[in-house]
Structure formats: C-alpha cells, structure tokens
Amino acid sequence: MKFISQGTQYAISAIIAISKHPSDIISASELAKPLNCPAAYLSQILAKLKKPGILKSQRGLRGGVYLTKELKDISIYEVVAAIDGEVFFNSCFMGIEGCGHIEPCPFHSFWAIERDKIKKWLQETTFENVDELMTQVWFEQHLSFVSGLKS
C-alpha cells in the first residue's frame, strides 16, 4: 500500500533538492532528471506548491522556482495536502463509499485513530527534520543535480 501519490513523492523530493541550493532559482527541467520525472509533469506539481506559499517562481530565460519558507516552517503534511488534498485523511481504509459513523466498515474505528496519528506526525514533521535525518550520500545518490542557474 502506497501512502502518498507519485506527485507528492516528486514534490517532497523536489523540495529537498531545492533546499540544497538556497540561493538558486531552479527550473523544472533541472530537477526532473535526478527525480526521474517528466519536466512538464514536475512543472504542474511545483505550481501546486505556490498556493500554500512554499515556492515562488520567476519567469524568463533564468526562470524557475525557489523556496519562500525556511525548512523548519514547511511540514510534510503541507506538501501532501497541496498535492493530494485531504482525501487520504477522510477516506475509508477499504475504499468503501459511504463508510462512516452511521455505516462503518469493520476497519473504520481502528483506521480513524491511526489516520489521525499519521496526520499529526506529518503536521509535526518538517523538512528541517528530514534534512537532519538524510545523509549526504543518500542525497547525492537520489536527488543531487548541478544547478546552472544563479539568482
């Protein structure tokens, strides 16, 4: 079972990669290669991160995106909600339409509690926490790229 969508996975990875180049404006095409993601799709994902104020963009030849918040001020939940919405936090474990307090599935009570725990953990976990846990070796193997754009 996959908890987050591929789009959210790309968004989280992109924020991590962008955070390693804080003074750069980075294009989607620069980010797309290490993320193994089509640049056009990544552009759409990055655009969704502008509404909650995580990223801003700059147009033009030297265009791209950059972080507008410090890592300690960006929760994983904020990114999940920006890309996937609240569906996970309101859905039935079994995917049964209409499952709720009136007609609960066998997993309803358990899943409601666990889902709330996951939501709380995502809200409390920031990208600063992620950065502290991530090794440089892991970053270089999975998300590293050479930025050619300077702000």
Give tens-digit pLDDT for 40-85. 999 999 999 999 999 999 888 888 999 999 999 999 999 999 999 9
pLDDT (mean) for 80-101: 88
49 occurs within a structural domain: yes
Q: Is the pLDDT of residue 146 over 60?
A: no
Residue 149: per-residue pLDDT: 41
Range of the domain at 56: 6-142
What pLDDT band is residue 35 in, cutting at 50, 70 and 90? Answer: confident
What integer best gives the mean pLDDT of the chain?
86
* Number of compact structural domains in the chain: 1
User: What's the CATH code of the domain at 107?
Assistant: 1.10.10.10
151 occurs within a structural domain: no
Q: Is the pLDDT of residue 20 over 50?
A: yes
Identify the weakest region by mean pLDDT among 3-12, 39-48, 54-63, 128-137.
128-137
Nearest to 42 by CA among 17, 74, 69, 70: 17
Contacts of 77 (CB under 8 A, 6+ apart): 119, 122, 123, 125
Residue 131 CA to residue 72 CA, distance in Å, equals 10
